[in-house]
Amino acid sequence: MNFIYNEDLIRAKLYAFDDPLRIRLNDNFFVTSAVLFSIIPYENKSYDLILIQRTNKGRNHRGEMSFPGGKFEPSKDITLIDTALREAEEEIGVSREKIEILGCLNDFPTMTKYIITPIVGKIDSNNKLVKDDKEVKEIVKIPIEFFTNTKNFKEQAFLIEEKRFPIFYFNYSDKETNKNYLIWGATAFMIATFIERVYGYQLSKSGLKRFTLNKILSLKEYLKHKNKITQNLD
């Protein structure tokens, strides 16, 4: 496949934020949040995704790889698009005026009781990325071709309260820095969903579905399961 940036294709395959066909979730027991699914296009090579490695200062996602994002703040945000743009500005130093929104993916619930709205945005390659030292340990640019290569995609099924739950993950090695990064869980799921929606290319072969919002609500001790899961992703 050709993964040179094709804006018309990507826009055509994504939802508009207010599209009635887009799945939108809401529940008082979940944290409403958004991420900026960040794309850097180039003229003569495949585009990159911008991910961040979080510092160890959060509660639920310390040290994990994710897209820039965070929870909806009613005092600062009008919509979840504002949330994604504000968090990107804070975490990777790109002002909202320099980010072009391309569309959205469906909302989905996470096991840590967040509802995430993925906002897909384009950032010009000339923009300087500056990390927020308090929240971001590293900013990492990864070619989309890494994620579309089936050799790099992995999945495991874990038994959580007698139900099989699929975990997607990628192990990325940066050849320039010799650093290794584990991209898993919600972030890996978003990437796989984007690839399937835009390119019609399904990475998962297990046929397992992530838990619904109601099923996640019924779980009692997910953090115990989470620690066990991360120890077995290799």
pLDDT score, position 1: 75
Task: Tally Cβ neighbours within 10 Å of residue 218.
Answer: 10
200 sits in the region (left: phi over 0; alpha: psi -120 to 50; else beta) called left
**Tens of pLDDT along the chain (234 residues)?**
789 999 999 999 999 999 999 999 999 999 999 999 999 999 989 999 999 999 976 555 567 999 999 999 999 999 999 999 999 999 999 999 999 999 999 999 998 899 999 999 999 999 999 999 999 999 999 999 999 999 999 999 988 877 888 999 999 999 889 999 999 999 999 999 999 999 999 999 988 888 899 988 887 665 555 666 666 776
Cα three-residue angle 191-197-203, rounded to 5 degrees:
55
Q: How far is CA 18 from the centre of its chain?
A: 20
Q: Backbone phi, then psi, for 53, in 5-degree steps?
A: -100, 120
Contact 99, 123 (CB under 8 A): yes
In whole angstroms, give the CA distance from residue 209 to residue 59: 26
Query: Would you list the DSSP string of 89-145?
Result: HHHH---GGGEEEEEE---EE-TTSEEEEEEEEEE-TTSPP---TTTEEEEEEEEHH
Structure token digits, residue 87: 């968090």
Q: Is 185 in a helix, a strand, or coil? A: helix
* Structural domains for the chain: 7-231 (3.90.79.10)
pLDDT score, position 60: 52
Contact 141, 49 (CB under 8 A): yes
DSSP-assigned letter for residue 46 = B
Beta bridge partners of 118: 35
pLDDT score, position 112: 86
pLDDT score, position 217: 85
Of 194, 207, 202, the C-alpha closest to 164 is 207
Contact 38, 92 (CB under 8 A): yes
pLDDT score, position 219: 78
In the chain, the amino acid numbered 192 is: A
Task: Tally Cβ neighbours within 10 Å of residue 231.
Answer: 8
In the chain, the amino acid numbered 160 is: I
